[in-house]
Structures are given as C-alpha cells and as structure tokens.
Structure 1
C-alpha cells in the first residue's frame, strides 16, 4: 500500500483515540490511556492477551463504524499518541486503594463499570470516581468485590470472627486494625503472622482476610525463591499473602521489611542499553506458618503475631466458603463503617513505637470502639522481642552481662574489647565452644548490636556508639528504673 493511502488510516485512528480516550503519563514516563468518564487506565504499550488498550481501541473503531485497520497503522498512530502524551500532566495510577480529594480515600471494587467506594471520615459512598481524581490500574490479580452492604450495625465483624479461630480478643482487635489499615493508601501496616498448631485453620483465615480486600479470587501463595519474582507479584496486587512459611532467611527477611515500609527497585529496561525501569512498592503483607525459626529484630518490629486455635467443630470447604461468600458484602460494609468511625476519632500519636502510624490507628480504634488494640499491639511486640532474644545467643549474653550492672551504670569499651568480654562470659569457666554465627571481629559484633539495639532497649539495656580522640567505642547503659509517681497526702 502506498504511503499516501496509509496516512488517512493513521489520522482516523489518532482522531478517534483522542476524542474517546484521555492520555497521560506517570512519573516513570509510562503513558496510560483512560476511556472518557471511566476511572480504569491501561498502559498503551501493554501487549496483554486480554484488556489491553490496543484491543479496546480496535474494538471501539470497529463498533463505531470506523473500520478495521492493520497493525502497522495502529502502531504508527499509537507512537504519535505516546509522543504527544509526554507533554501532558503527570498523574499516578493506583491498584485497589488510592488517595482522593478532600481527605478521602478510594477502594476499587474491580467492576467493569468502574464503581468504587469513596471513604471519608463523614461516611462512605459507592460512586464512579472522576478520572482526574483516581486512575485505577488493574492486573490479573485484581479481583471483583461485591457491592458492600449498608447499615450492617457491625454484624459483618461478628460474622468474620465466627468464621476465624482467633485465640484471644486481642488477636481480633489487631486483625480489625490491620484490615482498616489496608484501606489506607499511604501509612504502612505491620504484617500479620498467623500462627497456631497444625489444623488451626491458618491458611483458611488468611484467605478470608485477603479476600475481604481482594475479592473471592484472592489467594495465598508460596514465597518465590528469588527477589525479582516476589517484587513482581507484590507490584501486581495490593495484599500479598505468603502461606506456610517454615524459614525466613536473611534475604527474604530484609525484603519483607522493604515490602511493609516501602522501597524502590531499579533494573535495566528491556531492549535498551541505558534506560532503566523504576518500581516502587509498599504493600500490606500477610504471612502464615507454624514456626519460622529465628526472627531478625528489624522484621520483628514489622510483624503482628495473631495466634489461632483448633476449631472444635469441623466443616467442609464448600460449606465454609459458601457461607463466607454470602457474608462478604456484610463483612465489607461493616469494615467500611468501622473505618469511617476510626478516621473520625481523635487520639494522641504514640511516640515510643517504631510503626507510629499503625500505633496511632490502634489508638483511634480504641477511641472509637474501646477494643484495647494499642495495648494488644504493645503486648504483641513484647512477645516478639522475647522470640528474638530466645533465638539469639548474643542478645542473651548481653542481657546477662547487663544484669550485673548497677542501675544507671555506663560502660565504654572498644568493639574488640566488648567481643572479648562477651565471649568470655559465654564460654564460662568450662570453656564451652562459641556457637556457629558468633561474631568473629569487633566490626561484626558492632553490626550485630546495631540490629539488636531496639530489642535490647525494650529490655532496659541501651547501646550507643561514640568516638574519643583516639578510638571509637561502644557504650552500654542500664538506666535506672523509673520512679513511681509521688503520692500526695490528703490534707483531711
């Protein structure tokens, strides 16, 4: 076909696309297409087998009587549209949860009609968001949620707790705090770690919690063997749930810390020499398992242990999931009602906990319901500190040494001197051999103490670093016990 016969085809496609779609770019330079009046955006370079912008453009052209065009004309038109879109305003895309105007947040229901839930401290509504306020990005992991029920009077919360087998009311309150936190797009939430004996329904409870946010297609998955595959899975959905964990190696533990609090990865863009692809991620994470062995201190501060117990009455999978699916609209409606109450509640921000946003959310939940979530959160962190200490012989040795110090005492030594002191204390008079993984140099000891610093501080041992004119030192302090408040005698 001659060039002069191709030009009209390119022009027809370009004119139709600009009349029926809105094109914009994200901060990483990816160009998206958004059908007029619809909140779902698709990357124009997507080559997916279903739901790509190329396909919806071809279908629109055919149904509106513009004709059928070959791939060359479509490619040339999309090349021009992509170039023009680079001059448009930058707007982010979101998966499942997004910030909105006037302090509101949005929950994508995953429906074809684009209906979503607008959540505000004054209430929640089912609406189709303005495309310039919210741009939803969907993947194969984006399941459809039912329309949430109105005026549930908290019945959905009771139904959820009846279906799960939490061992205590504290676990139930922390679960509610986590679910409310999952509906927030910006503040990180710790990762629930569902534990309990074999047969306690950990995987079933985990699926239920995931499906409240991700729909009935949401599920648990095995932990990928490499970082790249896990990051890909995390970036494609909202809640990431890893099932039946039995070991957390250092690399996986560090990656989970990044997923919970947020990080960025950069890799070379495909079919390029110098371009890079940036991937930012911060997602709610959920874990299940009986025992994962030694937990590293930095991950322990980002976990939320939830213990389950074995149910007394067993039910079939078909019966259980049929009941859950029927109750899901009511559960989701009750969760939205609770989220509105929590966001409207006023509470002080705890300043002594690392994940202050989640601690503040627990305080708001307590102000709205009186469930005692903040105390439960503190107690769970205390239990995790015990787990860290029980699995770390160095931490046990440091605490043993600190127990010999008088309250208020401070000791300064170089890291090499500390290594000699702690090694002697561990080996004792019988010269028992040091365990595998024991620090071999002062630098290794200093690095281990930096990881253990928050855990030791929670047990009343402060570790700090400084420098004199001649050398660096490590300082260990056992602060005096806090004095009880003075009792004022009555004048009568």
Structure 2
C-alpha cells in the first residue's frame, strides 16, 4: 500500500475526537473540549498531570480499540482541532457557580457524573445541566460536595450555627447573607473577616463556611508573597480563604479590593512574541486573623467583620469534623431553601452603600426572614470606619479641623495651603514632629484625602476637588445634619 493510501494517525485521532467531544472557544480565545452529554470542559492545551484532555483522548482511543498513538500524532491532531474550533460558537466556562437560562443559577457539586444543583425562582433541583447551557471548568481546588438534602425545614442553619462560635445573632445573619451571596455568580460580596480572641476557632469557623460551597477538601491558605501567585490561586477556585493575617501591605490590600469587586490581569502568553493571556476574576474572599493593623479605607468598604467568641466546651478535631461531614448535606439543603426564598423576596436597594448588591441581598434576607441583616451590615461598616479613623492620624486631624467649621459652610484652599494648615494643627499642641507617612506635598495630601472621602463623609465631612482660573483647589465642608449612626437591630 502506498503512503498516499494510508490513513494517517492524526486523521484517526481527529475523527475520533470530533465524534466523541464537542469543541468550542471561550471569549478569551481558549479552546475547550467537552465530552458529549457531559457538562465538564477541559482546555485542550492543558498539560496537567491529571484530568487533561490529552489524557482523556488517549484513554478513549485505547479503550475503544483504536490503538496507542505517539505524541507527534496527538499534537498534530490537536493543532487541527484547535484551528477548527476557533470558528465555532463562543461559550464561557465557569468554576463552581454559573448563570443559567430563564434566571436560574447553577452550583457544581464537583461529581464525576456531572450532577449539579439548578436554583430557579420556584425552587432547586439536582440534575445534569445541558452542556450548551453550562460548561464547568474544574481544577485541583474543585472539591466534591454531597448531594444536598431536601425538606430540611431550615434545621441545617441551626446545626451550622451550633458548630460555629459566632458572638452575636447579628454576626450569624451576616454570615448567612455572605453564604447566599456566594451562590450568585453576578453578586459581588464583601470579604468576611473572622476576628476574635485567641482560641475562638477563627480558622475552624472559616473552614466550615467555605466547605459549604467548596466541599470537605476546601481549606484556608497563607497569603501568597506576591500578587501573581495570589491571582493564580484565586482564578483556580471559587472561594479564596486566607488564614491568620497579621499584617496587610498596601499591595495586598489593593489586590483584595480587586478580588472582591472584579479585575483582569493581562500577561504575555508563553512561547509567543506578541500575544497576551487574559485572566478575569471576581471571587468571594474570606479572611481570618486577630488584628491586621491599619485598614485602608477602600478595603474597609469591602470587608464584613464576623466576630467569634471562645467556646465553653472544647472538642477534638476528629469529633468536630465527623459531625460536620454528617450534617453538611442538611446544611447545604437548608441554605439552598433559604436562597430560593431570599431571591423571591422583594426589597428596595439601598443607594448609600458601596456594595449595593450585597446591601440589597441583606434587605431581601430581612424581608424573607425578619432578620436585621441590613442594620447589622450598616453597623459593621460604621465600626470599620472607626477603625480606619483610629489608625489614620490625617483623618483624625481633618475631623478635628472640621469641628471648627460652621455646619452647612465650606472652606476652599489649595492643597499646599491645606497641607500647611493641617500640619500646623497636628503639631501645635505639643510642638511634636510630624509622624512617619504624613503627606509631604500638596499632591500627596490631595490623593490621601480622596482615598479618605467615604470614611470622612460617613462622619459628615465632605471633601471635594476642582479647578478655577486661578488653579486647583480642595474644599472641605460640614453637613448641616450628619446622619445618625444606626444602632444594630436585635431580632
């Protein structure tokens, strides 16, 4: 037989692949392979040690009696398949949570059979999603969840709160609101910061919260040393949990803000001269620690403090986690029931809070249950503003000067004049030197005040910037009637 009459190995592989797999590309141009009838998709260029499409294809060819092929034939076949897939329809892939048709939301249970939870306006059900509706992407961080229990009558929520050491009922309802937010792919949620005295079970409580969504393999991790490693960890999972934070650098604080509200990282693609690789991410974030020092104002608006207390009775790790694994199906089932109820509730969206989507979710939870979640959220933000002011000498000095202003009036000066005034006010009492980190130029002062704008506005002090024919200016004003600080509602 001549060479022209032979069926090349690459054609055998290509025909088999197209008969058994569906190939498509994502909005960023990455080509994925999806076994027909199964919702899990894998990038065809993945060289992972487990679960790569290359291995999947090799095993299928071997089991179906098509033979064993060398790497060159596989590469040539995959190159052709990738080129053909670039003309196919575009479809995104999702990790753990995904939007579906007709207002539904999907939760990936991480199971080999592809069974997932479809949360729709009238309830939830366990089923295998249509591959054209949802494509799941899985990594080594994707753990398996148990099948959630039906008809729990809400007892799973009580079981969870009994295992955690939350200090107040307000803390419990905020934790519930965050868990419900984690089941929504389009709702940015603030990052819970589990605090409390030593021995309060902050790490254990954090694990219990994330394992409701990530399975028993979900765990806390130390904060990476650089932003690139942090982004890689965030992009590979759904909930990112950082344990035992004792210090928060400006770079880490900015990265956390991006994780909560969403950002995109662009890097040069490997083995190319001009192509780039895009990584978009917005993920639920959870933190634990006793004290992280000074919190920057932009991060404070994205935090959700959850205080824990020391348990009266200690239990062994084996006993505690055995009970948790036993009740997890009931806890997950109750959370899904509550999620359906909350999404069906009608509530107004607060317009004065930075995380408006989460504030609306809190209002819906209050409507559905009668809790005081929104009031508790406002009170927690107020406490965080106090922490920001307590750790920022410039903010304290601005508030001190604002007390001398007549309510309803404004004072306008250049940034350099403001720097001279505030510096003199800080050092006037004891002729003390300016502290480390104090603004050294009018430009630095202007930038610091812009960052402090939300914190100062919460105390009735408004900072504005503008330009006239004479140059730029900064304006400080006191509101006539600062809004009263709302008290937490006990339910």
Instruction: Tell me what 1:254 maps to.
Output: 254
Instruction: Tell me what 2:421 maps to.
Output: 421
Instruction: Tell me what 2:86 maps to.
Output: 86
Confirm or deny: 8 A CA contact 1:6 1:73 kept in the other structure: no
Instruction: Tell me what 2:280 maps to.
Output: 280
**Cα distance in 1 between the residues matched to 2:483 and 2:17:** 72
Secondary structure class of the residue paired with 2:223? coil
The gaps in structure 1 that reach 5 residues or longer are 485-492
Instruction: Tell me what 2:178 maps to.
Output: 178
Confirm or deny: 8 A CA contact 1:144 1:215 kept in the other structure: yes
CA deviations on 1:257-291 (whole Å, 9 max, x unpaired) are 00000000111111111111000000000000000
Q: 1:231 to 1:6 in 2, by over 3 A?
A: farther
CA shift at 1:56, angstroms?
1.1
**Cα distance in 1 between the residues matched to 2:183 and 2:155:** 19
Confirm or deny: 8 A CA contact 2:121 2:344 kept in the other structure: yes
Instruction: Tell me what 1:28 maps to.
Output: 28
Confirm or deny: 8 A CA contact 1:156 1:334 kept in the other structure: yes
CA shift at 1:471, angstroms?
1.2
Matched, 1:328 2:328: yes
Matched, 1:138 2:138: yes
Instruction: Tell me what 1:202 maps to.
Output: 202
Single out whichever of 177-186 and 464-473 deviates more from structure 2. 464-473
Query: Aligned runs of 1:324-473 on 2, under 5 Å?
Result: 324-473=324-473
Matched, 1:72 2:66: no
**Cα distance in 2 between the residues matched to 1:156 and 1:395:** 44
**Cα distance in 2 between the residues matched to 1:319 and 1:482:** 51
Confirm or deny: 8 A CA contact 1:262 1:281 kept in the other structure: yes
Confirm or deny: 8 A CA contact 1:174 1:373 kept in the other structure: yes
**Cα distance in 2 between the residues matched to 1:47 and 1:6:** 30
**Cα distance in 1 between the residues matched to 2:331 and 2:9:** 51
**Cα distance in 2 between the residues matched to 1:2 and 1:258:** 61
**Cα distance in 1 between the residues matched to 2:432 and 2:14:** 78
The gaps in structure 2 that reach 5 residues or longer are 485-491
**Cα distance in 2 between the residues matched to 1:3 and 1:472:** 79
Confirm or deny: 8 A CA contact 2:21 2:35 kept in the other structure: yes
**Cα distance in 2 between the residues matched to 1:6 and 1:306:** 68
Instruction: Tell me what 1:15 maps to.
Output: 15
Secondary structure class of the residue paired with 1:266? strand
**Cα distance in 1 between the residues matched to 2:422 and 2:267:** 43
**Cα distance in 2 between the residues matched to 1:478 and 1:98:** 45
Single out whichever of 186-195 and 64-73 deviates more from structure 2. 64-73
CA deviations on 1:78-115 (whole Å, 9 max, x unpaired) are 11111100000000000000000000010000000000
**Cα distance in 1 between the residues matched to 2:424 and 2:56:** 72
Give me the CA root mean square deviation.
1.3
Instruction: Tell me what 1:53 maps to.
Output: 53
The normalised TM-score by structure 2 is 0.97
Confirm or deny: 8 A CA contact 2:62 2:68 kept in the other structure: yes
Single out whichever of 218-227 and 11-20 deviates more from structure 2. 11-20
**Cα distance in 2 between the residues matched to 1:357 and 1:11:** 51
Secondary structure class of the residue paired with 2:204? helix
Instruction: Tell me what 1:490 maps to.
Output: none
Confirm or deny: 8 A CA contact 2:109 2:117 kept in the other structure: yes
CA shift at 1:133, angstroms?
0.2
Confirm or deny: 8 A CA contact 2:460 2:482 kept in the other structure: no
Secondary structure class of the residue paired with 1:234? helix
CA deviations on 1:388-445 (whole Å, 9 max, x unpaired) are 0000000000000001111112100100010011011100143111100000110000
**Cα distance in 1 between the residues matched to 2:142 and 2:233:** 12
Aligned residues: 484
CA shift at 1:8, angstroms?
3.0
CA deviations on 1:323-381 (whole Å, 9 max, x unpaired) are 00000000000000000001000000100001000000000000000111000000000
CA shift at 1:237, angstroms?
0.2
Instruction: Tell me what 1:100 maps to.
Output: 100
Q: 1:49 to 1:482 in 2, by over 3 A?
A: closer
**Cα distance in 1 between the residues matched to 2:140 and 2:2:** 40
The normalised TM-score by structure 1 is 0.97
Instruction: Tell me what 2:316 maps to.
Output: 316
Secondary structure class of the residue paired with 2:411? strand
CA deviations on 1:61-81 (whole Å, 9 max, x unpaired) are 121222222222111111111
